[in-house]
Amino acid sequence: MKHRLMAAAGLAAVLLGATLATTACGNGSGAAGSTGKIDTKGDKNATGTLTVWLQVDAQSSWPNAVKAATTSFHKKYPKVTVKVSYQAWNDHLTKLDAALTGKHVPDVVEMGDTETTSYLANGAFRDLTDSKNLFADSANWNSGLAASCTYEGKVYCVPYYSGSRIVFYRKDMFAKAGIGAPPKTLAELMTDGGKLNKKYGSDPKFSAFYMPGKFWYSAMSFVQDAGGTIATKKGGKWVGGLDSPAAIKGLTQWKALSDQLSAASKTSDEANPQQYTVMAQGHVAMMYGLGWEGASVSADGNGGNPKLKDSIGSFAMPSGSGKEAMQSFAGGSDLAITAKSQHPDWAAAWTAAMTSQSNEKLLMKAGNVPNTTTLLAQAKSDPALAAAASSATDSWMVPISTGWPKVEKSSILQNGLSDIATGKKSVADACKQMNQQVEQALNGS
């Protein structure tokens, strides 16, 4: 997923706050203020339109879940029209910022879990603290996603799904290269990659392991696995950890994998082009992707290749430090009700339907990790989802700081990693620069 926050976010939220007082009054059609309890009992006579912004992943990979949520919503509000608009990750925040300062504000918006902090801090979303029990199994929400919805003890959004990353591989290529089972350690993965290179290396497009140079979610997992971290808060200030020996060790391992096993561009990321579309072309033996991407490789449409339907397997990314598996980034999405929504009751009812346990099971079938630990245990027993669910159990998260969006917006990590991948800078020099820039961004200097 692409998580990018535009500079206008803070300004938009400030302007939003200035106008809340004039827009947050009741109008007899589900309206309420930006705080207080929400009533989702339903109204058979209510009329109007509920506007929902979801990311395009829902349209392409789990449209049945969206349809089911709306069907459930209409049992309470049969005369209310639900308008779902699908957004792209690369510009949805720009559009949201513009909408928040205007009169036509979406009622429900999907947010990447690293995008929420500034919006929560600036009052862009409705306080759901007193209404948390309206949402299914809210006592057992995924801790990483729940943290991304929480600011100063208040709850401002609802966990939607988690997108833990795992390795997808070509079972047929492994077999022809003489590899009997997926690797259990990073060293085994490198050895297997060498065997794949020997078998298929005459193809100039071949990647034993596809790894773009700006794929920071993967690189930071290597840092975490080696015992490092991006930054920690000490004495009220953020202290960077990317110049530590552990971080350098992890990124040295990441560079070795990139150098020896990948023909991917050293200056692009995992979304440009989408990794699954590259793997679908037949020149990739392994890739590190989100749970739903494995099915997309062999999908009929959207860049998939149905001929690979029975060829794609998965396993958790092996650790280089003796752990059961490498920690995965706790990526995912949340659903928030905008503070300026004129229909918070309707918005809450639709959000509750979209995140109900029955709907979360539909998301699981699409390859997503569910939003609660209750369903996570069930996901681990599903062979198709077990690797992703296990990976999500031990995950890591970016620093929870209002300065984090600046790190992403400035592409600090992406550019530093590209310098490492291309050899423009040594691992140590690039780590030193990234660390300094991350500290400055997190501490607002």
Domain boundaries defined on the chain: 48-163+330-392, 165-329+400-443
Q: What's phi and psi for 42, nearest 5 deg?
A: 105, 160
Tokens of 242: 């990317």
pLDDT for position 17: 43
Helix (H), strand (E) at residue 231: strand 231-234
Supply the CATH classification number for the domain 165-329+400-443: 3.40.190.10
Bigger pLDDT: 144 vs 93: 93
Q: Which residues of 390-413 are buried (b: 16+ CB within 10 A; e: fewer)?
A: bbbbbbbbbbebebbbbbbeeebb
20-34, 112-126, 285-299, 419-433: range with lowest mean pLDDT: 20-34
Does the domain made of 48-163+330-392 have the CATH classification 3.40.50.300?
no
Is 103 exposed, middle or buried, given 0-12, 13-18 or 19+ CB atoms closer than 10 A? Answer: exposed
36-40, 240-244, 303-307: range with lowest mean pLDDT: 36-40
Question: What residues contact residue 364 under an 8 Å CB cut-off, 6+ apart?
Answer: 370, 375, 378, 379, 382, 385
Cα distances (angstroms) measured from residue 288 to each of 9, 19, 148, 191, 381 = 31, 44, 24, 17, 22
Question: What residues contact residue 246 under an 8 Å CB cut-off, 6+ apart?
Answer: 223, 226, 227, 228
How far is C-alpha 443 from the geometric centre of its chain's CA atoms?
Answer: 24
Match 């997923």 to its residue by tokens: 1
Q: How far apart are CA 441 and CA 302, in angstroms?
A: 37
Q: Once rounded to an integer, what is the mean pLDDT over residues 379-407?
A: 81
Confidence check: pLDDT of 325 > 50? yes
* Matching fold, domains 48-163+330-392 and 165-329+400-443: yes
% of the chain at pLDDT higher than 70? 92
Q: How far apart are CA 387 and CA 384, in angstroms?
A: 8
Of 407, 393, 303, the residue nearest 56 (C-alpha): 303
Confidence check: pLDDT of 340 > 90? yes
Confidence check: pLDDT of 304 > 80? yes
Cα distances (angstroms) measured from residue 264 to each of 154, 199, 230, 405 = 43, 18, 25, 27
Strand partners, 163: none
Structural contact between residues 53 and 87, judged by C-beta atoms closer than 8 angstroms: yes
